[in-house]
Structure 1
Amino acid sequence: MVKVLTYFGMTLAAFAFWQSMDKVHVWIALHQDEKQERMEKEAEVKRVRAELLRRAREEDPLA
């Protein structure tokens, strides 16, 4: 009986561990995606800003 309970307990613990690792993996992947999107958005803003500054300098060389 002890062997059966030990097996059941270990199986349950392994299942709980597997599920928690799966949730951690999904959480990490989502945050990496969010970080990548934020970095891409910031790079686009910098690129557009640099382009606008370049155009402003070309149009008004005295400024």
Structure 2
Amino acid sequence: MVRVATFFGISFGAFLFWQSMDRVHVWIALHQDEKKERLEKLMEIRRVREELLQQAKQTDTLA
């Protein structure tokens, strides 16, 4: 009887472990996606800023 209870206890513990690891992996993936989106936004802002600076330089040289 003790062996059966131990088996079920270990099985339940393994199940809880795998469930928690699955949640950890999802959490990590979400944070990586958020970081990637944030970096893409920053790169877009820098690109637009550079374009605007180039346009401002061109209009200054024409004026």
Q: TM-score, normalised by structure 2?
A: 0.95
Q: Counting helix residues as a fraction of each chain, which structure ranks higher?
A: 2
Aligned-residue offset at 1:61: 2.5
Match of 2:7 in 1: 7
C-alpha separation in 2, matches of 1:60 and 1:26: 51
Identity among equivalent pairs (%): 65
Task: Report 1 or 2 for greater relative contact order, CA contacts < 8 Å, sequence distance ≥ 6.
Answer: 1
TM-superposed CA distance for 1:43, in Å, is 0.1
Amino acid across the alignment from 2:5: L
Q: How many pairs were matched up?
A: 62
Instruction: Report the AA paired with residue 30 of structure 1.
Output: L
* Ranges in structure 2 where 5+ consecutive residues have no aligned partner: none
Gap regions ≥5 residues in structure 1: none
Alpha-carbon RMSD across the aligned residues, in angstroms, is 1.1
The one-character-per-residue Cα deviations of 1:5-63 (angstroms, maximum 9, x if unpaired) are 0000000000000000000000000000000000000000000000000100000128x
The alignment partner of 2:28 has SS state of helix
Structure 1 runs of 4+ aligned residues shifted over 6 Å read: none
